[in-house]
Structure 1
Amino acid sequence: MTAADKALRLGTRRSKLAMSQSGHVAEAVRQLTGREVELVEITTYGDTSREHLAQIGGTGVFVTALRDALLRGEIDFAVHSLKDLPTAQPAELTLAAVPRREDPRDVLVARDGLKFTELPAGARIGTGSPRRMAQLNAYARSHGLSIETVPIRGNIDTRVGYVEKGELDAVVLAAAGLNRIGRPEEIADFLATDIVLPAPGQGALAVECAAHNGALAATLADLDDPLTRVAVTAERALLAALEAGCSAPVGALADLPPLSAPIERGDPHADGQIANHMRLRGVVGSTDGTELVQLSTTGPVPSSKDEALALGRELAAEMLAKGAAGLMGERAL
C-alpha cells in the first residue's frame, strides 16, 4: 500500500460535539482526496478536569493533547473548535484551514421554552463562561432584571440536564454546538449579539497539521473559507493584543456581508453592516456586570492576514485605553 492509499488519521476530542464536527471535516476530506479518513479519539486535560476553566487556565486545555499527537506523528491532522485554540501559533504546526463558520451566537436552553426576557425574577442561569456571565449580568443590571448566573461545566447533555432536572432555569450554549449535533429544536432563544458578544472565533473550526507536511496542508487549504478566515483573524488579534486567554471575559465578533448576497434584516452575520465593510466589536467586563468596556470599529473587509491583524490590534488598543486591562482575570500563558 502506498502512502497515498493509506487512511488519513484525524485527531479529535471524544465528546459528542467534537466527534460530530470532526466527522463533517472527515467527510469533506474524503471528498477532496478520495482517501479514507480515520477518527482517532484523544482525551485532553480539559475533558478530564472537573475544575472550572478559569481555575485551570483555559488556554490550550482542550487542544494541547491533540497538538502533541500531531508533533509525535500519531495523527495526520486535527480538528479543534477555534475558540479553544491559543492565539499564539506554534511554528511546528500549520492552521491549514478555517472552514465556513456556523452561527456564532450564544443561545438559551430554558425551562418551558422561555426566552431570556421571559425568565422569572431570580432565574438561575448556568454557564461556565466568565464572558457570558459578565454580559448577561451587565444587561440584567441595565434593564432592571433579576437573574443569578451559576458556574457549571460539562458537555451539552450535562448542561441541558440541569434544566431538564429543574436545577436551573436556563443554560447558555453556543448555537453552533447544538446545530452541529442536530439539536437546534432545543434552542429557546437566540441571544442577540448586542446583548452577548460571542467568544472570539466561536462557531468556527480549526483544521491543523504539522508544518513539515506541506502536501497535506495544501490539500486541507481547499476547505478554507477566506471570509471566515479574515473575520476570526481580526477577532483573535484583538484577544491576543488584550493578552487574554480563552477563558477571560472577552467577547469579539467581526460582522461580514454575505458573499455575493444582499444583506437581509435579521441575518445575524449582517446586522448593522455596510456592504463590503466589516464591523469588529469587542467587549470586556467584570463577571458581576458592574463594569463593561465595549467598543467597535468599521472598515473595508480585510484583503490580507496583516490587515485583519491590524484591525483587531487597533480596537484592542482603544479598549485598553478605556480600562479593559483591569477587567481580565486571566492572562495568556
Structure 2
Amino acid sequence: MSGPATRALRLGTRKSLLATTQSGLVADLLTERTGAAVELTGVTTFGDVTKAHLAQLGGTGVFVSALRDKLLDGEVDFAVHSLKDLPTAPAEGIALAAVVARHDPRDVLVAGAKLADLPTGARVGTGSPRRVAQLRAIRPDLEYVPIRGNADTRIGKVQSGELAGVVLAAAGLQRIGREEVVAQIFDIDEMLPAPGQGALAVECRADRADLLDLLAALDDPPTRAAVAAERSVLAALEAGCAAPVGAYAVTSGNTVDLTAAVISADGRRSVRKSASGPMSEAMGLGRDLAAAMISDGADTLMGEQTH
C-alpha cells in the first residue's frame, strides 16, 4: 500500500470562520495521525449565497452539494461538513470516509439572561424548526424569528439589541472560541439535538481507495454508530413527517442508547421514545424506533406551521 501522496491533499471547505476552523482541526488531526500534508481549499456553496431561510430550502444539503461537486470533479481530495448538515440519503460516487469524535452536541442560548428570565414577547432568533418547536414547549410566550448568517452575525444581533437572544450549537461556539457569550446551555432532555449535531463528517470520492484508507485514521467508531442511529431515525421519518425531529444517541461498551422525538410546530405535542441495541445494528435501531414513533402518531404532528 502506498504512503501519503507527495503533494498536499486539498481539503474542500466552506469559507466561513466556523467551517475553516473545523476543517483546520481535521487537517491537523490527519497530519498528526498519518503525516499527510493538507491544504484548505475554499468553496462557496448555495447555502452561503442564498437569501432564503434554511427551513424554506429544506435545511440540509444547501451547504453540501457544491463541495460534493468539487470532489467528483477532482478539484478537491476530501471535504469536511458539519454532520447535521449532511442529507441522510447517500450521494452517488461519494463515501463517508470518517466521522470524527463528537464534540458537545447541545444547543445554547446567547442572550443577556437565561430563557426562563427573558421578558414576555422577547424576540429569539433561530432558523431551525426543531429548536423553535422545543423552545415553544418551554416558553410559548416568546416570539421566535428566522435568522441567517454566521455565528458572529447572529451574536451581533443580540449585542445590538435587535434580538433578545439566539440559539446556536454549542460545538460551533466552542470551536471558534466564543463560549463567553453563552447565557444558558440546554440540557439534552429539554432540547433534543439535531441528528449528528456536534460531529464532523469527512467525505471523499468512493473510488479513491487510497484516500479511504488514509482518512480511516480520523474515524471514531462510537461516534459513527451514534450518529448512524440518529440519522436513520431522521431518514425513516422524513418520508412521511415534516415535523421537527430531534435525536441523540450515546454508546457504552458495544451498546447504543438512542432517544428521539417528533415535536409539533407549536410545541404542544410530541412523541418521544428511547431504545437500545448493539453498535453493529445502529441503523436498524433507528429505523425501528422511527417505526414505533409513527405507530404512536408521530406522523400526525405535522400541524400548521405557526409563526
TM-score (norm 2): 0.93
CA separation of 1:203 and 1:178: change in aligned 2, threshold 3 A: same
Query: Residue 127 of structure 1 contacts residue 149 of structure 1 at CA under 8 Å; is this kept in 2?
Result: yes
Tell me how far apart the structure 1 counterparts of residues 202 and 60 of structure 2 sit (CA, whole Å): 18
Counterpart pick for 1:291 among 269, 272, 283: 269
Task: Identify the residue that residue 105 of structure 2 maps to in structure 1.
Answer: 104
| Larger CA deviation: 228-237 vs 146-155 | 146-155
Classify the secondary structure of the residue corresponding to 1:58.
Answer: coil
Matched, 1:279 2:265: no
Matched, 1:218 2:216: no
Deviations 1:272-295 (A, max 9, x none): xxxx64321111122221332222
Matched, 1:134 2:133: yes
Tell me how far apart the structure 2 counterparts of residues 172 and 49 of structure 1 sit (CA, whole Å): 21
Deviations 1:17-57 (A, max 9, x none): 00000000111122233232110100111111111112122
Query: Residue 204 of structure 2 contacts residue 212 of structure 2 at CA under 8 Å; is this kept in 1?
Result: yes
Tell me how far apart the structure 2 counterparts of residues 325 and 13 of structure 1 sit (CA, whole Å): 35
Query: Residue 243 of structure 2 contacts residue 265 of structure 2 at CA under 8 Å; is this kept in 1?
Result: no
Tell me how far apart the structure 2 counterparts of residues 6 and 50 of structure 1 sit (CA, whole Å): 38
Task: Identify the residue that residue 189 of structure 1 maps to in structure 2.
Answer: 184
Task: Identify the residue that residue 267 of structure 1 maps to in structure 2.
Answer: none
Structure 1 residue 244, shift from structure 2 partner? 5.7
RMSD (Å), alpha carbons = 2.0
Classify the secondary structure of the residue corresponding to 1:192.
Answer: coil
| Larger CA deviation: 248-257 vs 9-18 | 248-257
Task: Identify the residue that residue 295 of structure 2 maps to in structure 1.
Answer: 321
Give the AA of the match of 2:169.
A
Structure 1 residue 328, shift from structure 2 partner? 4.8
Tell me how far apart the structure 1 counterparts of residues 263 and 52 of structure 2 sit (CA, whole Å): 22
Query: Residue 12 of structure 1 contacts residue 66 of structure 1 at CA under 8 Å; is this kept in 2?
Result: yes
Counterpart pick for 2:162 among 163, 167, 170: 167
CA separation of 1:256 and 1:119: change in aligned 2, threshold 3 A: farther
Task: Identify the residue that residue 266 of structure 1 maps to in structure 2.
Answer: none
Unmatched segments (≥5 aa) in structure 2? none
Classify the secondary structure of the residue corresponding to 1:5.
Answer: coil
CA separation of 1:328 and 1:208: change in aligned 2, threshold 3 A: farther
Matched, 1:42 2:23: no
Tell me how far apart the structure 2 counterparts of residues 87 and 56 of structure 1 sit (CA, whole Å): 15
Give the AA of the match of 1:71.
L
TM-score (norm 1): 0.86
Deviations 1:54-91 (A, max 9, x none): 21222311100000000000000000000011111224
Tell me how far apart the structure 1 counterparts of residues 69 and 299 of structure 2 sit (CA, whole Å): 32
CA separation of 1:182 and 1:244: change in aligned 2, threshold 3 A: farther
1:1-333 → structure 2 map (5 Å cutoff): 4-111=5-112, 114-141=113-140, 146-243=141-238, 249-257=244-252, 277-297=255-275, 299-300=276-277, 302-304=278-280, 307-328=281-302
Count the aligned residue pairs.
Answer: 301
Deviations 1:67-124 (A, max 9, x none): 000000000000000001111122411101001000000000002xx11222222222
Runs of 4+ in 1 over 4 A off after TM superposition: none
Classify the secondary structure of the residue corresponding to 2:238.
Answer: coil
| Larger CA deviation: 314-323 vs 204-213 | 314-323
Give the AA of the match of 1:85.
L
Tell me how far apart the structure 2 counterparts of residues 124 and 17 of structure 1 sit (CA, whole Å): 25
Give the AA of the match of 2:76.
I
Classify the secondary structure of the residue corresponding to 1:284.
Answer: strand
> What percent of counterpart residues are identical?
61
Structure 1 residue 181, shift from structure 2 partner? 0.7
